[in-house]
Amino acid sequence: MSESAPTSTPEQLRHAEGITGASILLDKVTKRYPGQAKPAVDGLTLEIPAGKMVMFVGPSGCGKTTTLKMINRLIEPTEGRIVLNGEDVTKKDGDQLRRKIGYVIQAGGLFPHMTVAANIAIVPKMLGWDKERIAARVDELLELVSLDPGVYRNRFPKELSGGQQQRVGVARALAADPPVLLMDEPFGAVDPITRQRLQDELLQIQADLQKTIVCVTHDFDEAVKLGDWIAIFDEGARLVQYDTPERILGDPANEFVENFIGSGAGLKQLTLTRVGDAPLAAAVTGRPGEAAADVLERVKTAGHGHAVIVDARQRPLQWLSRRQLSRLQTISPVLDPKLPVVGSRATLNDALDTMLVSSAGAALVTGRRDAFEGVIDVQTVMAAITKAHEAAAMDSMDAPVGTNTGAIPAAAEPAEPLAAGEGRTGQ
Ligand SMILES: Nc1ncnc2c1ncn2[C@@H]1O[C@H](COP(=O)(O)OP(=O)(O)OP(=O)(O)O)[C@@H](O)[C@H]1O
Ligand SMILES: [Mg+2]
């Protein structure tokens, strides 16, 4: 943000410019609500690394929302400190703090009497940006969340679908380029297909912007798909396990976690690998207007069974077998509506879905601007699962610190790095 105090360090400025997210530390944080026998959050210490996406899961009432809202001090902690990028913000002006922390709630939480543009402009306006800058930012953000600015900027929230409202909510939270984004069950209210698309968009946005994102969800699969780290809480925000999705699936800390994962842990591994990370097969390509015989010739030379027809911007149009090619004269520019296509950010699970309905038993993978990148097939998926298993078994990366009071002496930074098994459970 441009209004950083002159006292800001270069480090703070860099973060304030949104180049990367900020680290968050909850330091022995407790929340007691008046009239409640037990604390809603009980002596929680939690490290959230900069630029990562951390998912909070746990049973209803266990303190997820309370923990989340203490980060931007919408709820004030009874005890403990909130540290943002090394700076203790526990006593800082709450309104100022919240301008640096985007907040997204279910259904976007948009103001119904304000247009989409006005909703997104709230924080930039408070920061005193000029009109042109705000207008440009609104359009930029609408593009980022895949809404055509010309169509949507002047609409009111009630004129949008649930998924579109959610997108505007994300755009609003990102408006002033905050280093931190908090999300409380952001995709809880949309249908499964829209939810999948919104998740993919969030992953794309995160890959581009590298914010620090803390996201509460009820859906363990969503946590596995989105999270760099997953924090599993029990009542009183007691941390049961805090680790990578791979290690939680492969090595659940106890029965509570196992129950949380539910059945099909093996299948859930499929949500861990992105299509773009799997080795894709190359394909022979052809263009509309070419003689089909020429394309067929190239397919035969390569020893392939199919050719992918792409348009001038490399977007796939058709996927033709040798037999189909042999029946054609010239390649037409028509788009096959049933083309099995997955984006490179989709999970292997999504890819498998697409493959199973495709007659080719494989799918075309597209990347930026929907350009064709390669082919993914069932063998690739199986190989990627095996590789993921091996990688999870070999991986000895230290988890960030997460504990409740009493487990690890809080200020004691261990002389040696935490072993993989320590510091990630809260017993
Ligand atoms: N304002 C409040 N006053 C008193 N108790 C509260 C208040 N807000 C929350 N609580 C209690 O604190 C505990 C934690 O609530 P919180 O909303 O953080 O849970 P949660 O994990 O987000 O649950 P859910 O998954 O249902 O959203 C619950 O027992 C809840 O009843
Ligand atoms: Mg909640």
Ligand 1 close to Cβ of residue 36 (< 6 A): yes
Distance 59 CA to ligand 2 centre (A): 9
Atom 23, ligand 1: residue with shortest CA distance: 61
Query: Which single residue is written with the structure tokens 């005193």?
Result: 128
Name which of 301, 370, 294, 367 is nearest 328 in CA terms.
294
Q: Crossing angle, helix 348-357 and helix 378-394, to 10 degrees?
A: 160
User: Sign of the C-alpha dihedral, residues 403, 405, 408, 414?
Assistant: positive
Residue 62 CA, closest ligand 1 atom number: 21
Atom 28, ligand 1: residue with shortest CA distance: 61
- The residue whose CB lies within 8 Å of the most ligand 1 atoms, and thus the one to mutate among 33, 41, 69, is 33
CATH of 10-266+399-404 given 3.30.465.10, 2.70.240.10, 3.40.50.300, 3.30.365.10: 3.40.50.300
**Domain range list for the chain:** 10-266+399-404, 276-385
Ligand 1 close to Cβ of residue 211 (< 6 A): no
Atom 31, ligand 1: residue with shortest CA distance: 61
Distance 233 CA to ligand 2 centre (A): 12
Nearest ligand to the CA of 69 is 1
Atom 29, ligand 1: residue with shortest CA distance: 61
The secondary structure element, H or E, covering residue 27 is strand 24-31
Q: 195 is written with which tokens?
A: 């939810």
Residue 33 CA, closest ligand 1 atom number: 4
Q: What is the pLDDT of residue 352?
A: 87
- 310 backbone dihedrals φ, ψ, rounded to 5°: -120, 150
Measured between alpha carbons, how far is 327 from 317 in angstroms, rounded to an integer?
18
Q: Say whether 276-385 and 10-266+399-404 share the same fold.
A: no
CB atoms within 10 A of CB 128: 9
Output the 3-class SS for 268-280.
Answer: HHHHHCEHHHCCC
Name which of 259, 293, 273, 243 is nearest 346 in CA terms.
273
CB atoms within 10 A of CB 101: 23
Q: What is the pLDDT of residue 54?
A: 97
Residue 185 CA, closest ligand 1 atom number: 27
Ligand 1 close to Cβ of residue 62 (< 6 A): yes
User: Residue 48 forms beta bridges with which residues?
Assistant: 24
Q: What is the pLDDT of residue 425?
A: 43
Ligand 1 close to Cβ of residue 30 (< 6 A): no
Distance 239 CA to ligand 1 centre (A): 16
- The residue whose CB lies within 8 Å of the most ligand 1 atoms, and thus the one to mutate among 26, 65, 216, is 65
Residue 69 CA, closest ligand 1 atom number: 18
Q: Crossing angle, helix 162-174 and helix 192-209, to 10 degrees?
A: 20
Q: What is the pLDDT of residue 416?
A: 41
**CB-based contact 230:243 (threshold 8 Å):** yes
Residues in contact with 340: Cβ distance below 8 Å, sequence separation at least 6, in sequence order = 319, 354, 355, 357, 358, 360, 362, 363, 364
Q: Are strands 180-184 and 101-105 parallel, antiparallel or unpaired?
A: parallel
Q: What are the E-state strand segments in 174-324?
A: 180-184, 212-216, 229-234, 238-243, 284-286, 306-310, 316-321
Point out the residues of the chain with pLDDT beneath 70.
1-20, 264-266, 388-389, 391-396, 406-427
Query: Which single residue is written with the structure tokens 């969800």?
Result: 217
User: Sign of the C-alpha dihedral, residues 132, 136, 142, 144?
Assistant: negative
Measured between alpha carbons, how far is 301 from 382 in angstroms, rounded to an integer?
28
Q: What is the pLDDT of residue 411?
A: 43
Atom 9, ligand 1: residue with shortest CA distance: 66
- The residue whose CB lies within 8 Å of the most ligand 1 atoms, and thus the one to mutate among 29, 44, 55, 62, is 62
- CATH code given to domain 276-385: 3.10.580.10
Ligand 1 close to Cβ of residue 44 (< 6 A): no
Distance 221 CA to ligand 1 centre (A): 23
Query: Which single residue is written with the structure tokens 């997210």?
Result: 21
Ligand 1 close to Cβ of residue 237 (< 6 A): no
Distance 293 CA to ligand 2 centre (A): 61
Which amino acid is it at 145?
Answer: V
Ligand 1 close to Cβ of residue 57 (< 6 A): no
Which residues have a beta carbon within 5 Å of ligand 2, which is an ion? Answer: 65
- 380-278-382 Cα angle (round to 5): 30
- 185-190-191 Cα angle (round to 5): 130
Q: 237 is written with which tokens?
A: 């925000």
Measured between alpha carbons, how far is 315 from 4 in angstroms, rounded to an integer?
43
Atom 22, ligand 1: residue with shortest CA distance: 65
The secondary structure element, H or E, covering residue 390 is helix 378-394
Q: What is the pLDDT of residue 415?
A: 40
User: Residue 25 forms beta bridges with which residues?
Assistant: 47, 83
Atom 11, ligand 1: residue with shortest CA distance: 40
